[in-house]
Structure 1
């Protein structure tokens, strides 16, 4: 008989990726405080075990692009939670929410590429850190834990923004752009309106973020990101 636990009813314990604790020691104490604050919560999105998925997929030295989101998705699609620890991304089998749909639409226009799903894990595998400013929220409630995570993500962004090895930062919308003062001048910053339906037509569509990121990476002597697959003609 299998002893494997159901990841929903028996999620694995959450833990910080060691490489990030080594790079930013203060994260451990911050996480202990966060964990205590969230202990009473019954419906945390994403589920425990996925809170640090973005950091788990991209170690500090491997990061070359940072795409900063605001808050995890708090809903479900076909009974599957939308949030899985990567900003803007959804698991396989989940339909892309509106902001992600607009991102994929702009990607087709900008670089002539598409993705078969809304799962952005292929970006993470190439060193794109898909980080949310708040790493969790409550099911059905946007921004429920934003104050709890404020010091934690500020520490991560300060570390990355002052890192000697240059990075490309993607800052969409006013919330992400509030982190701009933490980013040193030797990094490249790509900013525009947010891809949300409320703002996409006010500067996101036509902003060409994907080709601009690759141009910035070339300028820094780094390899380009393969955003998707070429659209069949």
Structure 2
């Protein structure tokens, strides 16, 4: 029996299934604003012509061990880099420079264009820093960092500096997005969905970890597993975590998953 439109859309709905979901968003925004207020940084640096093509870069007090870049989610449709600064907190405490790139959203641009913007931001950040680069992303950001780990997306020089890619709760196969109502805004077609799906390609020779919360929606458990299996990389299911608190591990410099990514 075919699924109704509502059933299809609910498979990719997160907030409706998380108690007090808005409280998590409010806490991210408050913690991120507090971190920016407390730290001198290079904020809203333009890397392109689009008004959202800007990044924030915060350096540690001493010499940086490398650069940790967090790419935010929001289904390529919403959110802003300023909402997520706190998820660089663990890496900053561990002595890494941290960066948060913004990017234009659908429907102004298509997902393939967002991929190009993120690559452009990472390239600009690489020019401003030395040492290894760790990429982390959540949800749509998990998709975007996985795309960065694929051949031909980043320049050879920047790709060679990647030391770890941490894809958290990613959308790794975009083909299931085609019949969703949100695709009225994303404007994905079959060709773009295939080209932009990491699960249908292969990764560079760089360590990749795919992580997902055990309490996430079934499709996110599937999407994470599909990518880990397709690429033959580490697959971590974090006990008791849902889509909105699975990324809290990035705020703790001692969390095993972050320590592994930064090692």
TM-score in same-fold range (> 0.5): no
TM-score (norm 2): 0.36
Bigger proportion of residues as helix: 2
